[in-house]
Structure 1
Amino acid sequence: MKVDLDRRLVFPDIIQTNLRPDILIWSTQGKKMVMVELTVPWEERCEEAFERKKGKYEELAGDIRALGWSVLVFPVEIGCKGFPAHSTWRIFAALSVKDRDRKAALDRLSRTAEKSSSWLWCQQDMKWKLSTDGQ
């Protein structure tokens, strides 16, 4: 499993691509892969964000399937006010996250999305320095 947290995720040597999902889980032995792309849009735009991210990874997933792999792509949206979209429930069901574990994960996701959105809102007048060194 790889997660795009501290630095840019590097896709495994299965295929060459410039796409970088937020979370990548794979089994070389079982030839199975799960790609997760998280988006935090306005609640009213969750479905639009889902379709956009789904389309973004469609071709890559097809190319990996052509190599004999089983691939699941999960665009996941948590609204900027902390509302988990339907896609959040779908990924938990597919990964068999249930009951207390699901509730705890939803609570953390919701709180984190809300806090992050609030922080960004408070920074709206700040002048951002763009990095040119890839970081």
Structure 2
Amino acid sequence: MAARQGPKTSGRDPDIERRKKRPPKTEAKQIRFIREGDTGHATKSQQHFILDTGSKWNMRADIDKKLVFPECVPTTLRPDIVVWSQSLKMIVAIELTVPWEERCEEAYQRKKEKYTELMTKCRERGWKAWLFQEEVGCRGFPAQSVWRMLQAMGIVGKARKTAVRQLGEAAERSSCWLWHRRDDLSWKPSADE
């Protein structure tokens, strides 16, 4: 049997030749996808935060169903948090939902539909109005909407990362508490908790 010989290569290394024939690498362009109805994100140099203005800001939270929406528009709706400046005529409504992670998009759309008319009325009365529908999954995974809201409000960098982590942990603790109390007749916290 004769030994098989490979193709003759005139003394050149085939690996070097193969590398030479490759086209030069180019940077891959990233495509930024934008949700329907959103305008996208500003670059860092153009970015302005909602709370940047040095005016007096007020805040109300819907604790024990006692939130009364600011006087700019009469309504019976109660977002979880409302931040507003009377002098600037600016208002921010934040609605938090803690759904099963797979249902975050559905929760986002449901809350958007619920509060869109209210925000439109605010704008018709001369207010700048923002609505943030936030979803933190019941197993502790904050949706991208949380990151965007904190960024828009001016909470950036390490503070934003910490806030998102704390929101996730709070949702997970609350879900765990509800699970442990699932058979109780009353879900009110006891004195020792």
Q: Same fold (TM over 0.5)?
A: yes
The equivalent residue for 2:138 is 80
Could you tell me how far 1:7 is from its partner in structure 2?
4.7
2:40 is aligned with 1:40: no
- Residue 111 of structure 1 corresponds to 169
Number of the residue aligned with 1:124: 182
Alpha-carbon offset, residue 66 of structure 1: 0.4
* Residue among 76, 88, 92 paired with 1:18: 76
Alignment of 1:95-110 (within 5 A): 95-110=153-168
Q: Which runs of 5 or more structure 1 residues have no equivalent in the other structure?
A: 130-135
Between the aligned partners of 1:46 and 1:7, the Cα distance in structure 2 is 23
How big is each residue's C-alpha offset from its partner over 1:59-103, in whole Å with a ceiling of 9 and x where there is no partner?
Answer: 010011100111000000000010010110110121121111011
Which of the pair has more CA radius of gyration?
Answer: 2
Secondary structure at 1:71's aligned position in 2?
A: strand
Contact 2:60-2:83 at 8 Å conserved across structures: yes
Q: Aligned partners of 2:163 and 2:151: how far apart in 1?
A: 13
Q: Tell me how far apart the structure 2 counterparts of residues 61 and 77 of structure 1 sit (CA, whole Å).
A: 19
Between Structure 1 and Structure 2, the one with more strand by share is 1
How many residues align? The count is 129
Give % identity: 50
> Higher relative contact order at CA 8 Å, sep ≥6: structure 1 or structure 2?
1
Match 2:111 to one of 53, 64, 85: 53
2-structure distance, mates of 1:52, 1:7: 20
Q: What TM-score do you get using the length of structure 1 for normalisation? A: 0.91
Is 1:69 matched with 2:127? Answer: yes
Structure in which a larger fraction of residues adopt helix: 1
Asked if structure 1 preserves the Cα contact closer than 8 Å seen for 2:100 and 2:137, the reply is yes
TM-score, normalised relative to structure 2: 0.64
